[in-house]
A and B are shown apart, each in its own frame.
Chain A
């Protein structure tokens, strides 16, 4: 009987049975394309995500904070590499992926187009931005594509330190002077809404979601993840002693969830489409780093080639 099933049907059956799909397995073109887009966007986000925080490494207030921030930013580079590798198992070339990023053809998470103005921003980014990323990534540890799910597991293991070090920065500042407390509240005010936007458009405006859910390369909907994030964050804000800039945020006894105000989707699309506060700056920094590193990549290849020749002439 199973012979009469089409390749697509058999593929879907494997997905429905929670089997993992591996690199050399048959898969529909759409599955492959959607995955390459999703994984590479995710990789680009990790790489571009280093920029807003990297800008504070030299200005961290103590050696301890500097070490932690350096380690976090290094982790993000690693996350980008795990994910690029996962995308490559699907037949995408590293060079091509980077080219798409550098020419603005590929997207990355819009959150990184906001500036990090004060040291409290580094705390708020760790707490809220990494927190939102974790919410998303934990769900993806069960994605149907094996190499992607395994990369996600590694990433999640490393992320919890990111969120905790961010929260710890804010907690310390909240024990400080009035100016420091104000700085924390200001950073939280600026990062709250963009963090909620990280989960993407509302389910009704997210047409490709149904297919991704069917293929299990997305396990929970944008709105579900966003709600979980809000429910998790409100008590954390209370412990910290800050508020979120949303007069409509309140606990709903009936649903058991915190309800929140309407997201400014106009702002969301404006930033996605390239007109956020730092889009140009981020892309320019990335392109510059890539171009200025070209001679290192070329030199390493030339050196490897020379070593190979030297070794083979010794053998001969």
Chain B
């Protein structure tokens, strides 16, 4: 038998929060993936909204590129408010 395609499942746990990846499942199509995601990942009120997306549509960064992608940010401490040493008397800033 041909495997059903793989879907990744994202759930918004409550109103006001972002969707978060929770796992994956196989389904014949997106409609069935949605129904299965409900049964597999939200049996105990884990969510108020579900996204399913076929895994092959996701482009992921390569772990090998980690340094090239994320290293440049680590020495830019002036992007953080704590970099600026201001008088204690200064309020609301």
Alpha-carbon distance A223/B91, docked complex (angstroms): 60
Cβ of B49 to closest chain A Cβ, rounded Å:
18
- Decide: A304 and B32 in contact? CB cutoff 8 A: yes
A304 with B28, Cβ < 8 A, contacts A24-B63, A94-B3 known: yes
- Decide: B32 and A300 in contact? CB cutoff 8 A: yes
Cβ contacts A to B, 16 pairs, < 8 Å: A78-B40, A82-B40, A85-B24, A85-B25, A94-B3, A154-B23, A158-B44, A297-B1, A297-B28, A300-B28, A300-B29, A303-B28, A303-B29, A304-B29, A304-B32, A307-B29
A95 with B1, Cβ < 8 A, contacts A26-B63, A78-B43, A85-B23 known: yes
Decide yes or no whether B12 CB sits under 8 A from chain A.
no
Decide yes or no whether A298 CB sits under 8 A from chain B.
yes
Decide yes or no whether B77 CB sits under 8 A from chain A.
no
- Decide: B6 and A75 in contact? CB cutoff 8 A: no
Decide yes or no whether A261 CB sits under 8 A from chain B.
no
Cβ of B21 to closest chain A Cβ, rounded Å:
9
Which residues in chain A, 14-37, are within 8 Å of chain B measured between CB atoms? Answer: 22, 24-26
Alpha-carbon distance A241/B49, docked complex (angstroms): 46
Interface residues on B, range: 20 to 34
CB-defined interface of A144-164 with B at 8 Å, one 1/0 digit per residue?
000000110010011000000
A24 with B60, Cβ < 8 A, contacts A94-B26, A301-B28 known: yes
- Decide: B63 and A25 in contact? CB cutoff 8 A: yes
- Decide: B24 and A298 in contact? CB cutoff 8 A: no
Binding site for B on A (CB under 8 A): 22, 24-26, 71, 74-75, 78, 81-82, 85, 88-89, 93-95, 150-151, 154, 157-158, 294, 297-298, 300-301, 303-304, 307-308
- Decide: A301 and B6 in contact? CB cutoff 8 A: no
Chain B residues with CB under 8 A of A71:
43
Chain A residues with CB under 8 A of B43:
71, 74-75, 78, 158
Chain A residues with CB under 8 A of B40:
78, 81-82
A296 (CB) vs chain B CBs: closest residue: B28
Alpha-carbon distance A277/B3, docked complex (angstroms): 33
Decide yes or no whether B75 CB sits under 8 A from chain A.
no
Cβ of B65 to closest chain A Cβ, rounded Å:
11
Alpha-carbon distance A251/B64, docked complex (angstroms): 54
Alpha-carbon distance A94/B55, docked complex (angstroms): 15
Chain B residues with CB under 8 A of A82:
23, 40
CB-defined interface of B65-79 with A at 8 Å, one 1/0 digit per residue?
000000000000000
CB-defined interface of B26-70 with A at 8 Å, one 1/0 digit per residue?
101100100000011001100000000000000010110000000
Decide yes or no whether B83 CB sits under 8 A from chain A.
no
Cβ of B24 to closest chain A Cβ, rounded Å:
5
